[in-house]
Structure 1
Amino acid sequence: MTGEDQRQTRQDIRGVARGTAPAPLSILDLAPVGVGYTAAQALSATTELARGAERWGYHRFWVAEHHGMPGVASSTPAVLIAHLGAHTSTLRLGSGGVMLPNHAPLAIAEQFGLLEALHPGRIDLGLGRAPGTDQATARALRRGEHEDPDDFPRRLSELTHFLDGDFPAGHPYARLSAVPNGPQRPPIWLLGSSGFSAQLAGRLGLPFAFAHHFSAENTVPALELYRSSFRASEVLAEPYALIGVSAVAVPEGGRQAARRLAASAGLGMLRLRRGMPGPIPTPEEAAAYPYSPAEADFLDNWLGNVVLGAPGEVAEGLEELRKRTGADELMVTSHVHGHHARLLSYELIAEAYGLTADQGAERS
């Protein structure tokens, strides 16, 4: 890339904080499928949410790769991103993330090169190294290929060379590059819930996204490892990290009402951990479920990592988390049953920060 392209890439990475928010706010959406809803309805709601996110002033909107989960419709991020791009005009869109071990690096490079050509300057390529599913489904996706988790750096390097068309002379793929291949390529982010990707992102000088919403105990250590490992690169001169955080805002009823909504996802996660994935239960089902003491502890721990309450309470909780972790950007996920409640939660959070009042101001 030229120096001008590199500067543009760095600008694309750093988010824009709007309104009174002290840091950029973004959205991670899984196209959740609740009891009583179809996948088609969930995807329609995600499309509506993306349009709302753009209107409300969120910076970016990521979707995640999951397989074999009846409660999640976002199995193929590239397809969904292309659709969302056609229904928005300025919102950054990306993967949070694509699970690199499930795919050939060239296939990902082609998919995201095509997305960049369709929606120039709006695409992020977030990469994870987990399968995003159970082991049987992972084997089916990989068609018997035995993947070594420690092979992730090699696959990442291969993907980067395909995107840039710059394999070294003598490499078996030296004559290959991903097509389409425009003047810019999507910024690569590394995602993680432990120290492996944090350290790798730091060493490579890449932006890092940490899954605080399901690995809260590792957030601060992983971010510290990322920053201590960071080496300046053509992509970033300084570390840049965002964290995914569960948050549920309600118009009335405060923490109790928000907790009731969030408990649906908690029960869904409990069932998933026990090998019984399904659609997200209703709040009524979650409230009536006969939790054992161990299950009740799990739910309490799960809800303890969700920022809950009225819009102002959620804004205060997010700011406390930002200060405690030093995150450069917050990526909110409101994983609840019911599309209206989910969209309303994001809208209330945006209103709490006055995002729509200052969409052109940059604070980062």
Structure 2
Amino acid sequence: MDNLIRKSIIAMIMLVMYVPLNIWLSSSLFNLVMKVDIGIFYRYATDNKYGEDIFFSEKIDKETKVSQTIQEIFQLKGELQTDSIQDTFAKLLEDEHFFIQQIEKNSEYISYLTSKELTTEDLITYMNLIADLNSKIMNGSFYLSALILFLLMYLLFEFRLELYFIAGVLYIFTTLSTFTSGIFANIFFYPMRWMSQIMRVNLDYNFEEYAMYIEFLPTIKEAFLSFIIFDTVVLAWRERRKKRRTMKITEIYYSIDEIINVLSNLEVFNSNSPFIKVNKIKVDFNYLYKFTKTKKKDPALKEVRRLTLMLLYRNQSIALLTKDVLNVMERLKQELSKSIVFKSEIDQHYKFVMVSKQNAKLK
């Protein structure tokens, strides 16, 4: 229950963070493109034909006075021209027919378009794409913001099944909505409006707002799919690392008996020099130590962790009494044999090896 409350609070915090993160990312993405190459925007709006403003650059304006024509259009409409190019184009295109009529009165500008083999249709297409630029960047930031939050929840707060469940629900919702041309999605408008009014989030919640949120769901779905791909890669990497670790600790476990025999013989037959350097024991105790760190509740492995730490942090070039090293190795063997968790791990590896050998024989 405590874990459920904790995760619910974390989920709410992430949800609150989503909007500011999205706004920040939108601004950052826009500024990044501006710094890297502003021509990216022009190529986007001209289907990669031009890397510069082919319709409204300063040079063109000096020759054709097109900016003056635009100002006159705003005056005729009784509206104020904004500083944002996107907003300016959006307002001009609210009445495309009127805009074309006025722009065609600028014979110098029309002559310029003709000289570049451009038409007013090309101009309208260009302006529409620029006007829609904020929305395109917003889509990218919606996706990226969601993906960042999903990864934070996954990596830091151990959300996994919860994210898979939400992804499944969202996928079903968007798929049904697509197959029914939006009919299924519209079923939830009134429940959403009712919830919005009950929670006093938005008392004037209307269908346009609901439709706007629905439009962004595919970007969230793509973020979930990206998370699932990431999770699959991480699981594969963890599985590979686990197999390697299990193989190593199995080798260590079965090599301890041999080490004990060698040390016992050294103690008997080399009594004149009863010392041995730790680096002479060719065993990588790091794998054993890392394994015990993940199994902190096992008392036997706790002692194994202490013993391996003692060997790892001991100066590798310093000679120790053979008897002391022998005692440590015997204690290691004893504690490892007592650990049910450890025995289960190496037994699992043994079964895997045997199955692999049988499969190899069948081939």
With the shorter chain as reference, the TM-score category is under 0.3
Q: Which has the higher contact order (CA 8 A, sep 6+)?
A: 1
Whose strand fraction is larger, Structure 1's or Structure 2's?
A: 1
Higher-Rg member (1/2): 2
Q: Relative to total residues, which structure has the larger helix share, 1 or 2? A: 2
